[in-house]
Chains A and B, each alone.
Chain A
Amino acid sequence: NAGVMQNPRHLVRRRGQEARLRCSPMKGHSHVYWYRQLPEEGLKFMVYLQKENIIDESGMPKERFSAEFPKEGPSILRIQQVVRGDSAAYFCASSPAKNTEAFFGQGTRLTVV
């Protein structure tokens, strides 16, 4: 029973490029959450998705960031035109139902050079 899988584990992008982070939830989980952890800071909620729907995106930056969770395939967090300030660890969590405990992946560490 595999846990939440995130890939890549490490991603290096030059300023202005696009970053795509993938998250495959645990089997049977249809709820996905993305969090960001800036260096030396705490985890901050970004977005909550259920299959094909964005439920809560109150933590998403207004520009350049988007997320999707299609009917088939992993959830994608997309960052367009990356800047140095986007360098962080991005964690995905999943849960089987709306109000059950969420389980986290190991994260993707994005470095913008």
Chain B
Amino acid sequence: DAKTTQPPSMDCAEGRAANLPCNHSTISGNEYVYWYRQIHSQGPQYIIHGLKNNETNEMASLIITEDRKSSTLILPHATLRDTAVYYCIVRVRSETSGSRLTFGEGTQLTVNP
């Protein structure tokens, strides 16, 4: 799976949009971009994933650049409960790895009142 690079920490004001960047310059054509978050040592929570098109769901939006070398997770209206470590994970879907995930260090997002 391709390596990802994320800033170690970010701050965001409550009610504002949180934009979390991720670099994955060695991504292959068949690798997907996944985002998970972990709130204070709870189990990781799936947020969103995509291949090359931008994606949106009830939690967030995922913007993937045209060359697919980077992406941005957008939380449109951050709340205090969005304070968490956010993981950007790039993985290929294969027979043996299944839905296996390789977690990096992630970005600690702190939403401030």
**Which residues of A are interface residues toward B (Cβ below 8 A)?**
4, 31, 33, 35, 37, 42-45, 48, 50, 55-56, 89, 91, 93, 95, 98-107
Is B25 on the interface with A (CB-CB < 8 A)?
no
**Which residues of B are interface residues toward A (Cβ below 8 A)?**
34, 38, 41-46, 49, 93-106
Contact A31 B44, beta carbon cutoff 8 Å: no
Complexed CA–CA distance, A98 and B46 (Å) = 16
List 15 A–B pairs whose Cβ atoms lie within 8 Å, in order of A's numbering: A33-B101, A42-B106, A44-B103, A45-B100, A56-B98, A91-B43, A91-B44, A93-B43, A93-B99, A93-B101, A95-B99, A98-B99, A101-B99, A103-B46, A107-B43
Residue in contact with B98 in the complex, picked from A44, A55, A89, A107, CB distance below 8 Å: A55
Interface of B is mostly: loop
Contact A100 B99, beta carbon cutoff 8 Å: yes
Complexed CA–CA distance, A43 and B101 (Å) = 9
Residue in contact with A48 in the complex, picked from B49, B93, B100, B103, CB distance below 8 Å: B100
Note all chain A residues with C-beta closer than 8 A to B34. Answer: 101
Closest B residue to A95 using CB positions:
B99
Contact B43 A98, beta carbon cutoff 8 Å: no
Note all chain B residues with C-beta closer than 8 A to A48. Answer: 97-98, 100
Contact A106 B100, beta carbon cutoff 8 Å: no
Note all chain A residues with C-beta closer than 8 A to B98. Answer: 31, 33, 48, 50, 55-56, 95, 98-99
Query: With contacts A56-B97, A101-B34 known, is A106 near B42, CB below 8 A?
Result: yes
Query: With contacts A48-B98, A55-B98 known, is A101 near B103, CB below 8 A?
Result: no
Residue in contact with A31 in the complex, picked from B94, B96, B99, B101, CB distance below 8 Å: B99
